[in-house]
Chain A
Amino acid sequence: MKAADAVRRFLGASSPEEVCFTTGEVEANNLAILGAVGEFTRLSTQGFCGRPARQGGKIVISAVEPVSVMFPAEMLEKKGLKVVKVPVDGEGFLDTDGLSEAVDEETRLVSVGLVNNEVGAIQPLREVVELVKDRNHDAIVHTDASDAYGRIRFDVKELGVDLATLSSYKILGPRGVGVLYVKEGTKIERVIEGPIGTQALWPGVENTPLIVGFKKASELAFTDFDSNVEHMRRLRDHLIDGLLSMEDAILNGPRGKGRAPDNANVSFLRCEGESLTIELSLKGVYVSSGSACTRKMLQPSHVLIALGREHEAAHGSILMKVSRYHSDEDVKYVVEAFGPALERLRAIGPTARG
């Protein structure tokens, strides 16, 4: 309970009961999406949160939500719910007019991530909440705040959201633990059945060591917060500038204050991303890519496609995050590693004939 209370304070929640520990971001997002329309995930047509089950309804998400939001929503679509994906602009910011159009009387849930996990765009969440509640007061607003927590300041009460997801590993805490913030009174049901212990929405026995680890990671993330964030922002900009100085490099996502302080995402044309991640790993630089080749689905990042990137740019994308533990030397090393890696891989590419 001490851990729940500590996390509550960092979030701006009212009570520790509003903090539900899960096994991570993916489970917290599933609980938020599936739990908010509980009767769709149950076998019977029994009531939902003490009311009779409703048929139909709509879920509105942004086109750049992580797959742990998108896939549960798409699963519900197959079960008969309407799902609307609101587009974003070329930098990844939500089309708020599109959101207004999409939200109506039958909307049950709206989910918009506070910070996009791939391109770092910080969404205008307060405006989103106001827009949604204005059109439908009963609609639940969820935000996956995994990429915001510990890196940008926010307060769930100030934002006005009903549900918010946090992840431990994304703030350098242990893997396998996360949180769903659930504002008191929010109509949501658990999606996993079992013996109810201390948490109403998550049955079973919590993993205390991981939860304590998450609490500690949170405390560290919020110690010297402003100077740490400033440090990350400076490194991020050095990294982005260094990478954009390479030939045929395109920044994905916005620049400046609208971008999360830790996020750098650059596409390299004429170079396939999976190859590039392996080549860089040979030099101790571990990064990820939105290329189809890095995924089991063999489709490039839906986020980059939603930003209007061509497939080739998405295949050549590299995503990096800086942390408070990185240094200027680290960034310099990384930027220097890209030059020869790009050169070698581009030299064997057929697109080089141009």
Chain B
Amino acid sequence: MSRAPLPYSSRILELFKNPKNAGKMTDATVSAEAGSPVCGDIITIYLKVGEDMVISRASFESYGCAANIATASMLTEMVKGKKVEEAWNIGWKEVADEVGGLPAVKFHCGILAVGALRRAVREYFSARTPKPAWLPEQDTFEEKQALDEENLARELSKRLNASKDQQDSR
């Protein structure tokens, strides 16, 4: 029996206990991170992409809550065997559905996982020309949200350091 502070689905708890594809991939084609230790939320996604642009393997590392671990694990399962373009098109809501739904305060975990994946895909194409037509120039919703969270984290630690300095100078 487990006692979680939030009404997590049994699927989330199962993935938390036995995550799939956890750990760094040493021979990854590409990797990307989203989140910040200040927010208590980091997801790194590793992808092994073949010449045919098919993702043969995916793995993740996570510093975060059960929802963070579960969504990252689920996303790596979802992208395996998919073409990079198909992986790009996975939205956070699909990930949330696959884990049996997320509590409202944990939506951002799914968003962060997808944000990290899309950053990895952009990174993959950064060294390749021409860029595929389906890859938008502008950041997508998930990427923007990840960036917002990181900026918020920076703001929080700036504020914290400022108040510390103030205290020290008293």
Q: Footprint of B on A, CB under 8 Å? A: 87, 98, 270-275, 277-278, 281-282, 284, 286, 288, 291-294, 296, 298, 300, 305, 308, 310-312, 315, 347-353
Chain B residues within an 8 Å CB radius of A293: 40-41, 64-65, 68
Chain B residues within an 8 Å CB radius of A278: 2-5, 13, 16, 66
Chain A residues within an 8 Å CB radius of B3: 277-278, 281, 286
Chain A contact residues: helix, strand, loop or mixed: helix
B18-26, B50-58, B118-126, B134-142: which lies at the interface = B18-26
For the complex with contacts A272-B63, A293-B65, A312-B37, 4 further pairs of A-B residues with Cβ separation under 8 Å are: A274-B65, A278-B3, A282-B2, A311-B37
Cβ B33 vs Cβ A281 within 8 A: no
The smallest beta-carbon distance between B35 and chain A, in angstroms, is 9
- Type the 1/0 row for B33-47, where 1 means its CB is closer than 8 Å to any CB of A: 100011111111000
Cβ B42 vs Cβ A312 within 8 A: no
Q: Footprint of A on B, CB under 8 Å? A: 1-5, 13, 16-17, 19, 22-24, 33, 37-44, 60-66, 68-69, 105, 153, 156-157, 160, 164, 167, 170
Cβ A300 vs Cβ B40 within 8 A: yes
Chain A residues within an 8 Å CB radius of B167: 87
Complex CA distance for A312 and B40, rounded to whole angstroms: 6
The residue that B63 contacts in the complex, of A270, A288, A292, A300, with Cβ under 8 A, is A270
The smallest beta-carbon distance between B151 and chain A, in angstroms, is 15
The smallest beta-carbon distance between A311 and chain B, in angstroms, is 4
Known: A275-B66, A282-B17, A311-B157. A348 touches B37 (CB 8 A): no
Selected A-B contacts with CB under 8 Å, 30 pairs: A271-B63, A272-B40, A272-B41, A272-B64, A273-B40, A277-B4, A278-B3, A281-B1, A281-B2, A281-B4, A291-B40, A292-B40, A293-B40, A293-B41, A293-B68, A298-B39, A310-B157, A311-B38, A311-B153, A312-B37, A315-B37, A348-B19, A348-B60, A348-B61, A348-B62, A349-B61, A350-B33, A350-B42, A350-B44, A352-B61
Cβ A351 vs Cβ B5 within 8 A: no
Chain B contact residues: helix, strand, loop or mixed: mixed
Q: Which of B33, B60, B170 has the most CB of A within 10 A?
A: B170
The smallest beta-carbon distance between B113 and chain A, in angstroms, is 13
Cβ A275 vs Cβ B37 within 8 A: no
Chain B residues within an 8 Å CB radius of A271: 63
Cβ B66 vs Cβ A274 within 8 A: yes
Q: Which of B17, B24, B44, B63 has the most CB of A within 10 A?
A: B63
The residue that B16 contacts in the complex, of A98, A275, A312, with Cβ under 8 A, is A275
Known: A278-B16, A311-B40. A294 touches B5 (CB 8 A): yes
Chain A residues within an 8 Å CB radius of B157: 310-311
Chain B residues within an 8 Å CB radius of A347: 22-23
Q: Which of B38, B40, B41, B157 has the most CB of A within 10 A?
A: B40
